[in-house]
Amino acid sequence: MESQKRKGYFLMILLTVFLLLCIVISATVGSASLTIWDSLQVILSKVPILNRLMNYEPPRQIYEVIIWQVRMPRILQAAFVGGSLAVVGCTFQAIFKNALADPHILGISSGASLGATIGILSGITLNFFGLGVTSIFAFIGAILTVTLVYRMGTWGSRMNVTNLLLVGTAMSTLLSAMISLLMIFNREQLEKVYLWTLGSFSSATWDKMKFVMIITVVGVVILCFYSRELNALLTGDEVAASLGVDTDRVKKILIIVAALLIAASVSVSGPIGFVGLIMPHCMRLLAGSDHRRLLPLSMLAGASFTIVCDTIARTVADPTEIPVGVITAVFGAPYFIYLLYRHTKGGRG
């Protein structure tokens, strides 16, 4: 047990360093010719304490514009979205006791996609705290969907996770069909809607980043606070109840917080698959299933993975940009198949 704990702390330090390295390298890579030192100078010049301690020449203004105004909002938004999705995936896998559970399992992403589709087709011009009409409608659509799924999936005052899964699946199918109908009747906007549903950070701004950052930080802290309860839920509801866990209340709180995290993430980037599915699995294989370590490790891994995928998405086919959801699928799908094969082979053994 003690060795597992030390291993978990070592992985946290390692992943934190790797995340910082990903941020600096991603800020360097692009069409403009920059060095890692250029990126590091600009980033350190914006850190309140370090900019006074470090002794270096002020970065060139053009570098500051490229790195700080253009690339950093996108990189940090990708980090918070990826970390948020990974933590939610880890939480859902414990709540539903299903290794295949991911952030999109309750149809929340489909609700956000329908909201975004309506926002794109409406032609409304709106800006609320830096969020455009598409993001606002996507956030509202996600919240309405999870509220409806929760109401329909809850019997009386007790929560039934099987009902939630079934209702979420049915709702996701229904909302996807509605999106398809809207796309058919509005072919001139089809490309915009389709590209949004593939996920992208191309519209990232500091306002969007701050919005998703605040919700991610608060939400992840709350979920980490319930890490012991998540450990208990893994043993089954009856055992968790015998350990003093109010399972219905805990599940309700966790699902509400997770839903807000998904709504915020999807509203600013579109649905991004596989991050919330494969990152918790990877960390569980390395550090075990104790959520006191698994949740922060999943967040760090999800943030790093999403930054790497987004960097590839915006550079591999320059000047054309590939939706980041395509890149996460390219990496995630083979690993997902490997997990299924490994699980099936292990079950036969």
Q: Please state the domain extents for the chain.
A: 79-348
What would the pLDDT profile of 33-52 be if each residue is shown by its tens digit? 788 888 888 888 887 776 66
> Which top CATH class is 79-348?
mainly alpha
Question: How far is Cα 300 from Cα 287, in angstroms, rounded to an integer?
Answer: 13
The alpha carbon torsion through 174, 103, 333, 329 (nearest 10 deg) reads 80
The more confident residue out of 129 and 260 is: 260
Give me the pLDDT at residue 228, please.
Answer: 92
138: which residues sit within 8 A by CB, 6+ positions away? 112, 113, 115, 116, 119, 263, 266, 267, 270
Q: What is the CA radius of gyration of the chain?
A: 21
SS3 at position 21: helix
Q: Which two tokens stand for residue 81?
A: 């979205």
The alpha carbon torsion through 220, 95, 115, 131 (nearest 10 deg) reads 0
SS3 at position 154: strand
What would the pLDDT profile of 47-68 be if each residue is shown by its tens digit? 777 666 666 565 677 888 889 8
Cα Dmax for the chain: 65
Residue 348: pLDDT band with limits 50, 70, 90? very low
Q: SS3 string of 266-309?
A: HHHHCCCCCHHHHHHHHHHHHHCCCHHHHHHHHHHHHHHHHHHH
pTM listed for this prediction: 0.91
Q: Is the pLDDT of residue 25 over 90?
A: yes
Question: How far is Cα 329 from Cα 249, in angstroms, rounded to an integer?
Answer: 34
What would the pLDDT profile of 195-213 be if each residue is shown by its tens digit? 888 888 988 999 999 999 9
What would the pLDDT profile of 238-248 be if each residue is shown by its tens digit? 888 888 888 88
